[in-house]
Amino acid sequence: MTTGPLQIHIIADSTGESAARIARAALAQFPDQDVEIVRHRRISQTEHVEKALAELPLERPIVVLYTLVKRSMAELVERFCTDHEVPHADLMTDTVGAIEQASGGRAQEVLRRPVGVEADYFTRVSAMDFAVRNDDGSIPEQLREADIVLVGPSRAGKTPLSIYLGYLGYKAANVPLVPGIAPPRELYDVERWRIIGLTMDADRLQVIRNQRVRGMGGFGNRDGYADLAHIYDELDEVGETMRELGCPVLNTTGVALEENASRIVDLVASRARRLGGNLRQPPGVRCEARG
């Protein structure tokens, strides 16, 4: 048996991105495992399946994940993997079958059918546009239109989280909290349950800001922007503003973007429920508030 990283082979009738995301989520539980993800994309015919299977390096440890809407092709992969004792998982057929069973309908098995091109697609595009327009509190007058408002110090992750929340369909705005500068008065008109504070460990924030300063040719370290002692003082002052706003504070250090976004949505929905508000849910999404 050859040495090398564990290979996860994805056999998909489209891009294979869905399976790759699931694989990466599972791999988070194996932080020390050396892994290579190999995609066999746009598999639309039996011959394509056979070719992909013939290319599998059976002499080494591999895993096969497949998202094939045609049952006949999925069954071909399953038989091959079973015969050759290759660990495998069907990520599509069981889900489709469960929906068929519950709905009484029959899957059409249309290859590469676009996902999310109806109302939810346009909702997401509009929400992402809102996030871009309202980055860094650039239009304070629109803060009350936001589903979620993120506040926090510079480089704590407000912008990527706002855009990712937009991708999920939520209209998110973010406002930087800068020591010595009062937040926009419009922020205090936003329902408190919509506001989430973001923070980060001081040493990690220093690393990120140093990278930012280097990217600006060394001209960005005004007023101790990347100085650790200054950052500690800044976080203390920003924390006071967050307490004044009455918002919960999430530490984003070392947490994946998707996980932070999920935490934010859950927290806002929970606070809305307790305070008699209502977090607007994007089409096709239902959030059961916890806590």
- pLDDT tens digits, residue range 43-91? 989 999 999 999 999 999 999 999 998 889 999 999 999 999 999 999 9
**Is pLDDT at 113 greater than 60 in this prediction?**
no
Name the burial class of residue 2, with classes exposed (0-12), middle (13-18) and buried (19+) by CB atoms within 10 angstroms of its CB.
exposed
E-assigned strand segments in the chain: 6-12, 35-40, 62-67, 88-90, 148-152, 172-176, 195-199, 249-251
Task: For the chain, give every domain's residue range.
Answer: 6-103, 119-274
Angle at the Cα of 157 from the Cα atoms of 154 and 163, rounded to 5 degrees: 120
Task: List the beta bridge partners of residue 157.
Answer: none
Measured CA to CA, the distance from residue 61 to residue 49 in angstroms comes to: 20
**Is pLDDT at 198 greater than 90 in this prediction?**
yes
Which residue carries 């650790």 as its tokens? 228
- Amino acid identity, residue 99? I
Specify the pLDDT at position 220: 52
pLDDT digits (tens, 9 = 90+) for 150-185: 999 998 999 999 999 998 899 999 999 999 899 999
What's the whole-number mean pLDDT along residues 120-146? 92
Pick the CATH number of 6-103 from 3.40.50.2300, 3.40.50.2000, 3.90.220.20, 3.40.50.1820: 3.40.50.2300
Q: Are 34 and 58 in contact (CB under 8 A)?
A: no
Specify the pLDDT at position 1: 42
- Closest by Cα among 52, 51, 65, 56 to 93: 65
C-beta neighbour count of 138 within 10 angstroms:
12
Specify the pLDDT at position 221: 59
Task: Check for a shared fold between 6-103 and 119-274.
Answer: yes
Pick the CATH number of 119-274 from 3.90.320, 2.40.50, 2.60.40, 3.40.50: 3.40.50
Whole-angstrom CA distances from 86 to 28, 64, 77, 197, 229 are 22, 7, 10, 47, 54
Q: Are 62 and 7 in contact (CB under 8 A)?
A: yes
State if pTM tops 0.75: no
Specify the pLDDT at position 243: 95
What's the whole-number mean pLDDT along residues 108-127? 69
Mean of per-residue pLDDT scores for the chain: 88
| Token duo for residue 237 | 């002052």
Whole-angstrom CA distances from 71 to 20, 45, 75, 105, 213 are 20, 12, 6, 16, 54
pLDDT digits (tens, 9 = 90+) for 210-262: 887 787 665 555 667 888 999 999 999 999 999 999 999 999 999 989 899 99
Specify the pLDDT at position 119: 59
